[in-house]
Chain A
Amino acid sequence: MKLGSYVVWAAVATGTGILVLLGYFIEVDLLIRVRLLLIQWAVLLAAAALLLGLFNLLAVHWSKVSMQDDGWPYSALLILFFLVTLVLGLLFGPDYEVVLLLFRYVQVPIEASLLALLAVSLTLAGFRIFAQRRDLLSVTFMGVSLLVLIGTAPWPFAGDSVLALAVSDIRAWVTQVWASAGARGILLGVALGAITTGLRVLLASDRPYGD
């Protein structure tokens, strides 16, 4: 029974994957239609999975509140605001003034603050690099970061001096030649890794859907 169910799931996943993949390479009308249909189903399933994920989110936090685990007041707040937003959205629609207000004056500022926090974290990480990893790569990384920063930011004085123009030119050379070449090399490696990962799923060697 166990082996049977595993074979069925693996065959369905492999067959579906091959059909979708071939639809990208072989321009046969039937194959293209099947590919588009399967992708539409995947989008619908992903939307349903989001609902299940939200239910899972509620279950995790409800369990924390009922067990009075560490940090349970945060979980209680999350449940409260989750339900308030959900009920308002379901009753009055996503364009309701209060829902938009919550989005505009709560979610957007918090996300912007987190992004600002990233700048602080990066600055601290820059100092930490020198403390923890004093190797050639880290020194090069920090040197290039400083060069790009100085070459991009407006200078408070002598902005049109020979030195400022030279730094700006060096920055452009580093980002357009060296950084672009490096990024393309990394992207090539990432693409190769992504292909082998996909093929392992197609071969049912990796089975993220379980057995």
Chain B
Amino acid sequence: MTGLDLLGLAALVLFLVSMLFYASAGRRWPVVFRPLAGLDALGEAIERAVEDGKRVHLSLGTGSVIGSDSAPALAGLATLSKIAAITSMSDKPVVATTGDGAMALLAQDTLRTAYDAAGARGRYEPTSGRLLGPSPFSYVATLPTMLDTEDVAVHLMVGSFGVEGGLAADFGERQNALVLAGTDDVQSQALLYAIAEHPLIGEEVFATGAYLDVSRLHRASLRAQDAIRFLLVVGILGGTLLMTLGLWP
């Protein structure tokens, strides 16, 4: 085991310990979120969609489950479980789409579990979690028809997207839906910033679960991220200073 491996393992343990610590301290020390316009508007938009009999659509992106780009889609699945519970009594429950077969199966499982937990097993339809197209552009090419025929009023994008994410957000804007979009790719984030009504920048895509109050560990994750980010920033600044002074090889 090299020093770098040991450092990586220690960082993971530090993450784990801080997440568990903040989860246990969460009740005595409630978390305070900075306002995010998109996530603030989301709750109201979902309520309005349910009342108007319109659909909420959650796009889990075009990344694969086994790739390194699966993390934002996993965060999207946590968001999906919460939105499925909120919209379970709607005439048109949430629809989740993806560009990956395995992710479509996970979306179906998430929806089934969420409806079971909400006591609305009958609302579950296997076609509510669907594969739109197996490649990024085939996915995005079928999106306008889906948004139109399903009467979508809230278009959420929480997953991994390449440049096709810009088009996916634009199709939502043309549908006059509320578009809240985030991804892990820096260049695609720039596209989403320009196109989407409510872009999620940086790690905000991973914060949707905490803002929607999915679980205590989601809120604890945000605090752990902030604490470790602070340590990293101190480390980077300290390293820069030491190198500038010639005290670091």
Q: Which residues of A contact B (CB under 8 A)?
A: 21, 24-27, 39, 42-43, 45-46, 49-54, 56-57, 59-60, 63-64, 69-71, 74, 78, 107, 110-111, 114-115, 117-118, 121-122, 125-126, 128-129, 132, 141, 145, 183, 185-190, 192-201, 203, 205-211
Contacts and interface: CB of A to CB of B under 8 A. Distances in A.
A208 B106 contact: yes
A68 to B, nearest CB: 12
Nearest to B109: A210
A60 B206 contact: no
Most chain B CB within a 10 A radius of its CB, from A107, A186, A195, A208: A208
Q: Is the interface of B mostly helix, strand, loop or mixed?
A: helix
Nearest to B194: A125
Interface in B124-160: 126-127, 129-134, 137-138, 140-142, 145, 148-149
A49 B137 contact: no
Q: Is the interface of A mostly helix, strand, loop or mixed?
A: helix
Interface residues of B, number: 79
A22 to B, nearest CB: 8
Nearest to B4: A25
Most chain B CB within a 10 A radius of its CB, from A50, A51, A78: A50
Contacts of A206: 74, 77-78, 209, 215
Contacts of A59: 126-127
Given A56-B104, A195-B15, 15 more contacts: A27-B1, A46-B100, A49-B104, A52-B104, A53-B100, A56-B130, A110-B137, A118-B163, A126-B194, A186-B203, A189-B203, A190-B186, A198-B71, A199-B12, A199-B15
Contacts of B215: 205-206
Nearest to A207: B113
A196 B225 contact: yes
A206 to B, nearest CB: 5
A208 B66 contact: no
Nearest to A124: B170
B127 A50 contact: no
A74 B193 CA distance: 31
